Amino acid sequence: MALQAAESPTGVLSPLWSQIAAGAVERDRSARFPTEAFEALGAAGVLGARGRVAEWALVRAAARVDGSVARILDGHFNAAERLDLLAPPALRMRDLADVAAGRLWLGVWGADPAQPHEGEPARLGPDGRVRGTKLFCSGAGGVQRALVTVRGGADADTPPLLVYLDVRERPGDGVTIDRSWFHGAGMRASESHRVVFDGVEPLAVLGEPGELGREPWFSRDAMRTAATWVGLADAIVDAALGALAQRPVIGELEAHAAGRLQTARGTCDAWIALAARRADAGDDLRETSIAYRAAIAGAVRTILDTAAAACGTRPFAEGELLDRARRDLELFLHQHRLDPLLARLGRARLEQLR
């Protein structure tokens, strides 16, 4: 079974991705966890896939048909990799076996409250239990377990700990999912809710303080996420080219837009290929990850702007693939602040040249 591509060489969606695509509109409208999609991914062996090439291709393929599914899948791969690296042997063997069988769905939740009314940041207390709040918890209510960053000491500057929690919302288990918090226009089915913990005992504390930011895994996580952006851009390019090709007359506007769309997608392909070579070579990925994400973000924004200008309002007003992918991609891009990272990269280079 071909797991790494959304399309065959003839441009036809494989059965797996066709099945997930078929439910995307309804999931977007009802804003519910994509249970059927994850059951299909598990049955196809996708959830247990390992390795950079497979994971980047899979999240890109998933985003091409449903951005919310891809967002949760990205976190699932992130969590599975860290479990393999850091979990105690018995826990690692048991849970990764369930992941490979498609029975266990995972997330990574790292965002803290930014406003007082959102609650106190999650903390690991002296009693060894987690209390407090996390935001943007993608997959909440669907994933069974998650890697969660928590504060562990009195000093707010201490790097956060990474704990592994059972995050199912069951009476008396100390997990409350606030489904009223997330109202984003995009990623509606990603279930990126506010979650409150009240005395949850971790299954494990993984690694050292600051573990989630440890290299090279942090850069690899970020690069996989950018592959999800590209999948959403693929959907926009496909939809825009299809709409332009159906016009009675293909003029210079349509032709120029098609050329820009294909060129921008080629830029994404080239950066993914370059990043893969550097990852395979064992290079330090920190600078590559920043440049890769910045270049891809620029290319997909070109795709967004070009598609909107060339296609007009109708494809967006009808709420079909072009509109959904645009909303998902814009929200996803806003979650990643690249300008400070680019400034750091540029400053380092200028200091070398002084």
Domain count within the chain: 2
- To the nearest 10 degrees (0 to 180), the angle between helices 89-100 and 67-86 is 150
Q: Mark whether 195 and 253 lie in a shared domain.
A: no
pLDDT confidence of residue 156: 65
What is the domain-level CATH number for residue 143? 2.40.110.10
Assigned domain for 116 exists: yes
Q: Name the amino acid, one letter, at 42.
A: G
The pTM of this model reads 0.92
SS (H, E, C) the chain: CCCCCCECCCCCECHHHHHHHHCHHHHHHHCCCCHHHHHHHHHCCCCCCCCHHHHHHHHHHHHHHCHHHHHHHHHHHHHHHHHHHHCCHHHHHHHHHHHHCCCCCEEEECECCCCHHHCCECEECCCCCEEEEEEEECCCCCCCEEEEEEECCCCCCCCCEEEEEECCCCCCCCEEEECCCCCCCCCHHHCCEEEEEEEECCCEEECCCCHHHCCCHHHHHHHHHHHHHHHHHHHHHHHHHHHHHCCCCCCHHHHHHHHHHHHHHHHHHHHHHHHHHHHHCCCCCHHHHHHHHHHHHHHHHHHHHHHHHHHCCHHHHCCCHHHHHHHHHHHHHHCCCCHHHHHHHHHHHHHHHC
User: Which of 165, 180, 212 marks a domain boundary?
Assistant: 212
Q: Mark whether 206 and 248 lie in a shared domain.
A: no
Strand order in the sheet with 106-109: 106-109, 145-150, 161-166, 204-206
User: Which of 178, 212, 246 marks a domain boundary?
Assistant: 212
Residue 183: which domain range?
A: 106-212
- Tokens 């550097």 locate to 278
Q: Mark whether 125 and 172 lie in a shared domain.
A: yes
Assigned domain for 201 exists: yes
pLDDT tens series, the chain, 354 aa: 334 455 543 344 589 999 999 999 999 988 889 999 999 999 999 999 988 878 999 999 999 999 999 999 999 999 999 999 999 999 999 999 999 999 999 999 999 998 889 999 999 999 999 999 999 999 999 999 999 999 986 666 789 999 999 999 999 899 999 999 998 889 999 999 999 999 999 999 999 999 999 999 999 999 999 999 999 999 999 999 999 999 999 999 999 999 999 999 999 999 999 999 998 888 899 999 999 999 999 999 999 999 999 998 777 776 678 888 999 998 888 777 788 888 988 998 899 998
pLDDT confidence of residue 153: 65
pLDDT confidence of residue 8: 45
User: Which of 179, 212, 245 marks a domain boundary?
Assistant: 212
Assigned domain for 183 exists: yes
Q: Mark whether 200 and 255 lie in a shared domain.
A: no
Assigned domain for 334 exists: yes
Q: Mark whether 294 and 243 lie in a shared domain.
A: yes
Q: Mark whether 193 and 219 lie in a shared domain.
A: no
Assigned domain for 162 exists: yes
Assigned domain for 325 exists: yes
Give the span between the Cα atoms of 329 and 335, in whole angstroms. 10
Assigned domain for 142 exists: yes
What is the domain-level CATH number for residue 296? 1.20.140.10
Q: Mark whether 244 and 340 lie in a shared domain.
A: yes
Assigned domain for 315 exists: yes
Q: Mark whether 337 and 265 lie in a shared domain.
A: yes
Q: Mark whether 205 and 324 lie in a shared domain.
A: no
Q: Mark whether 247 and 335 lie in a shared domain.
A: yes
Q: Mark whether 245 and 293 lie in a shared domain.
A: yes
Q: Mark whether 191 and 220 lie in a shared domain.
A: no
